[in-house]
C-alpha cells in the first residue's frame, strides 16, 4: 500500500531538511512541471487525477484552478494560499503534514502556483500550531536558499514569493473568504460569493485557496501521473486520504489510507476498536460539522460520494466516535458551544440562532428542558440550513445536531422526562 503523503514522515525524528528531502525525490515535481509542462498541462493533469479538495468540500481541484482568469486581459497578480488554519474540532490531519514534512507542502505550492501563474503564495497557519510555524519558516528559508523560491526559479521565468502568516485563533478563518479578509488585515467575516476568490480574491486579485493536504498531493501526481493517483484509491475519488479517529477507541490516531476504506476498517482495524466497556454508538465522520453516522453505516466507504449518500459528509476525514457512556446531548451541546462562540457575528441566523441552540441544549442537559425545546431545535436545524446563512458555518453546526435529534432522540426525551442527564453529565470535553 503506497503512502505518498506520509512516507517521509516519522514522528520520532524532525522533518527532513531540504537536502534530505531532495534525496527522497523531493522537488522533482518542480523540475518536471517547470521544464516539461505548461501551466495548463499541470492543471489538466490535476483535474484528470480527480484530486478532490481535502478541506472538506471535496471539489475537484483542477476544476477549481480552471476558474482563474487567464490570458492577456487577466490581472497579472494572482495568489495561491495554503489553508493551514486547521481548527475543525477533532481534526489534526494537516498538522501531521505541516510538522512532519513542510517541504512537501512548499513543493506542492510551487507547482500549484505555476499552474495558476501565481507570483505570491501564503501559508495561513492556525495560531496554535507553533511547532509547525517554526518548521515551515525553516523550510521556506531553505527553499529560498536553494532557488526553489524567489526570482527565476530553476532558471525559468517563474517568480514566486512565499510567506507564512499565523492566524489569531479564529475558526472562521478556515472559511476561505474570511481567511482572505483576515490576511488583508481586516475583520475575519466571510465574503459574499460570487465573486469567487478565483476571480476576485486576496487584495481583489485572482486567488486559489487550497487545503494543505490537497496541495501536498500535487507533487506526487505530477511525478507519477493521474492514472497512478486514481489507482491509489478504492473509490472514484483519486488518491490516498489522511483518516483520523478520536474518541474512546483503543488506538486513536491518524493514518494515510486508500481513499474509500470503510468506516468499520478504520474503527476496528486501525483504531483497534472500542475501549473495554464502551460500545460504539455513532461517529461524526469528518469533523464536528458533519452528521452522525451510526452502526448501520459502518460498512460504507469513506469517500465523498458514499458518505454523502449516507446522509453525512466525508469532511476532513477525521472521525469523532461517540460511545455509549457519553451523553449525546452534552456532546452536541459542547459542539454548539464551540460553533456559537466561533460565529463571526456577521449574519443574523448564525449569530443569534447558534447561541439560542446552545442555551436550549444546556437547559436540556441540566434537566430543565421542555418538550417544546425539541421543536425549537428542529426549527433551527431547518432554518440554519444551507442558503439561509451567509457562509457554511451554521449549516455545518446544524449537521451533528440534526442527526443527533434523528438517531438519539430518546436521549433528548429522557433528559426532559427525567429532568436530569441520564449520563450524569458525562460527555467529552
Partner 1 sequence: MATIYIDNKAYEVKEGKNLLETCLTLGFNLPYFCWHPAMGSVGACRQCAVKVFKDETDTRGRITMSCMESVSNELRLSISDADAVQFRANIIEWLMTNHPHDCAVCDEGGSCHLQDMTVMTGHNYRRFEYKKRTYQNQYLGPFINHEMNRCIQCYRCVRFYKDYAGGKDLDVFAAHNHVYFGRSEDGILQNEFSGNLAEVCPTGVFTDKTLKEHYTRKWDFTSAPSVCQHCSLGCNIIAAERYGELRQITSRYNGEVNGYFICDRGRFGYEFVNSPLRIKEAKLRDENSKDLNKKNLLNKTSALITPGKTIGIGSPRTSMESNFALRKLIGAENFYQGISEQEASLHKLILEVMNSGIAYIPSLKEVEEADAILVLGEDLHNSAPMLALAVRQAIQKGPSELKTSLPAWHSLALKEFIQQEHAPLFIANPLKTQLDELAQASLNLSPAEIIQLGYAIAHHIDSASPIEHLLSESLLKEAKAIAKALSKAKKPLIITGTSSMQEGLVKAAANIAKSLKTANLCFVEHECNSLGLAMMDAPPLEEAMKHVFLNDTDTVIILENDLYRRTSSGNVDRFFEACKEIIVIDHLHNKTTQKASVLIPTGTFAESDGTLINNEGRAQSFFQALNAKNELIQESWRWLNELFSLQKGISIKDRTSPHELLEEIAIAMPQFKGIAQAVLQSDFRINGQRIPREPHRYSGRTAMNAHDNVSEPKPAQDLDTPMSFTMEGYRGEPPSSIIPFYWSPGWNSVQSVNKFQIEIGGALHGGDPGIRLINNKEGMSSYYDNNFVPIELKDQEWLAIPVQHIYGSDELSIHTPGVTERSPQPYIGLNKLDAENLNLQDGSKVTFETDGEEVTLPLRIITELPRKVAILPHGLQDFNCHLPIILRIKNLKKSR
Residues near partner 1, by CB under 8 A: 170, 180-181, 187, 191-192, 194-195, 200, 203-204, 340-349, 351-356, 359, 363, 376, 379, 383, 387-390
Closest CB to partner 1 among 204 and 425?
204
Residue 171 CB partners (closer than 8 Å, separation 6+) = 87, 88, 338, 342, 393
CA dist., res. 173 & res. 377, Å (int): 27
Q: Which of 94, 6, 52, 1 is nearest to 302 (CA)?
A: 52
Query: Least Å distance between CB 63 and partner 1?
Result: 21
**Strand partners of residue 244:** 254, 318
Of 193, 195, 202, 128, the closest CA to residue 163 belongs to 202
Rank residues 120 and 214 by Cβ distance to partner 1 and give the closer one. Answer: 120
Q: Which residues, in sequence order, are CB contacts of 56 under 8 Å at separation 6+?
A: 88, 211, 286, 287, 289, 313, 314, 315, 316
Burial of 387 from C-beta contacts in 10 A (0-12 / 13-18 / 19+) = exposed
- Between CA 84 and CA 105 the distance in angstroms is 10
Report the residue number, 125 or 360, with the smaller CB distance to partner 1: 360
**Least Cβ distance, residue 201 to partner 1 (angstroms):** 8
Strand-pairing partners, residue 274, are: 249
Supply the minimum distance, in Å, between the C-beta of residue 81 and partner 1.
Answer: 15
> In the complex with partner 1, which residue's Cβ is closer, 258 or 396?
396
DSSP-based three-state secondary structure for 249: strand
- Least separation in angstroms between residue 117's CB and partner 1 is 19
Grid cell at residue 257: 489510507
Smallest separation (angstroms) from partner 1 to the CB of 177: 9
Closest CB to partner 1 among residues 10, 187 = 187
Run of H or E residues at 240: strand 240-246
Between 214 and 336, whose beta carbon lies closer to partner 1? Answer: 336
Angle among Cα 44, 46, 47 to the nearest 5 degrees reads: 60
Minimal distance, residue 183 CB to partner 1, in Å: 12
Residue number, 62 or 197, with CB nearest to partner 1: 197
User: C-beta of 238: minimal distance to partner 1 in Å?
Assistant: 31
Amino acid at each position: 500500500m503506497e503512502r505518498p503523503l506520509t512516507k517521509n514522515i516519522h514522528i520520532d525524528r524532525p522533518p527532513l531538511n531540504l537536502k534530505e528531502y531532495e534525496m527522497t525525490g523531493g522537488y522533482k515535481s518542480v523540475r518536471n512541471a517547470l521544464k516539461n509542462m505548461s501551466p495548463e498541462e499541470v492543471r489538466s493533469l490535476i483535474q484528470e487525477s480527480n484530486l478532490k479538495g481535502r478541506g472538506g468540500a471535496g471539489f475537484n481541484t483542477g476544476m477549481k484552478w480552471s476558474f482563474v482568469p487567464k490570458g492577456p486581459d487577466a490581472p497579472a497578480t494572482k495568489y495561491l494560499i495554503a489553508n493551514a488554519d486547521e481548527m475543525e474540532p477533532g481534526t489534526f490531519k494537516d498538522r501531521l503534514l505541516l510538522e512532519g514534512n513542510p517541504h512537501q507542502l512548499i513543493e506542492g505550492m510551487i507547482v500549484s502556483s505555476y499552474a495558476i501563474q501565481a507570483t505570491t503564495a501564503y501559508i495561513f497557519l492556525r495560531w496554535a500550531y507553533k511547532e509547525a510555524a517554526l518548521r515551515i519558516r525553516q523550510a521556506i528559508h531553505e527553499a529560498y536558499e536553494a532557488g526553489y523560491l524567489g526570482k527565476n526559479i530553476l532558471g525559468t521565468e517563474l517568480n514566486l514569493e512565499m510567506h507564512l502568516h499565523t492566524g489569531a485563533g479564529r475558526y472562521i478563518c478556515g472559511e476561505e473568504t474570511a481567511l482572505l479578509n483576515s490576511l488583508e488585515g481586516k475583520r475575519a467575516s466571510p465574503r459574499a460569493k460570487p465573486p469567487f476568490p478565483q476571480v476576485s480574491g486576496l487584495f481583489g486579485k485572482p486567488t486559489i485557496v487550497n487545503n494543505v493536504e490537497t496541495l501536498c498531493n500535487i507533487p506526487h501526481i505530477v511525478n507519477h501521473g493521474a492514472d497512478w493517483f486514481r489507482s491509489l484509491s478504492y473509490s472514484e475519488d483519486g488518491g490516498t486520504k489522511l483518516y483520523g479517529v478520536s474518541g474512546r477507541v483503543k488506538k486513536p490516531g491518524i493514518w494515510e489510507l486508500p481513499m474509500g476504506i470503510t468506516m468499520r476498517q478504520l474503527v476496528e482495524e486501525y483504531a483497534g476498536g472500542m475501549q473495554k466497556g464502551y460500545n460504539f454508538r455513532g461517529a461524526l465522520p469528518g469533523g464536528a460539522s458533519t452528521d452522525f453516522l451510526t452502526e448501520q453505516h459502518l460498512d460504507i466507504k469513506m469517500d465523498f460520494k458514499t458518505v454523502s449518500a449516507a446522509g453525512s459528509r466525508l469532511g476532513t476525514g477525521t472521525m469523532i466516535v461517540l460511545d455509549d457512556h457519553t451523553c449525546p446531548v452534552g456532546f452536541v451541546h459542547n459542539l454548539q458551544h464551540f460553533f456559537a462562540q466561533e460565529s463571526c457575528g456577521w449574519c443574523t441566523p448564525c449569530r443569534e440562532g447558534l447561541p439560542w441552540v446552545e442555551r436550549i441544549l444546556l437547559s436540556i442537559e441540566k434537566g430543565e428542558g421542555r418538550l417544546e425545546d425539541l421543536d425549537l431545535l428542529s426549527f433551527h436545524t431547518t432554518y440554519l440550513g444551507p442558503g439561509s446563512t451567509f457562509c457554511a458555518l451554521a449549516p455545518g453546526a446544524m449537521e451533528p445536531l440534526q442527526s443527533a435529534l434523528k438517531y438519539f432522540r430518546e436521549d433528548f426525551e429522557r433528559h426532559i422526562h427525567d429532568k436530569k442527564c441520564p449520563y450524569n453529565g458525562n460527555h467529552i470535553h
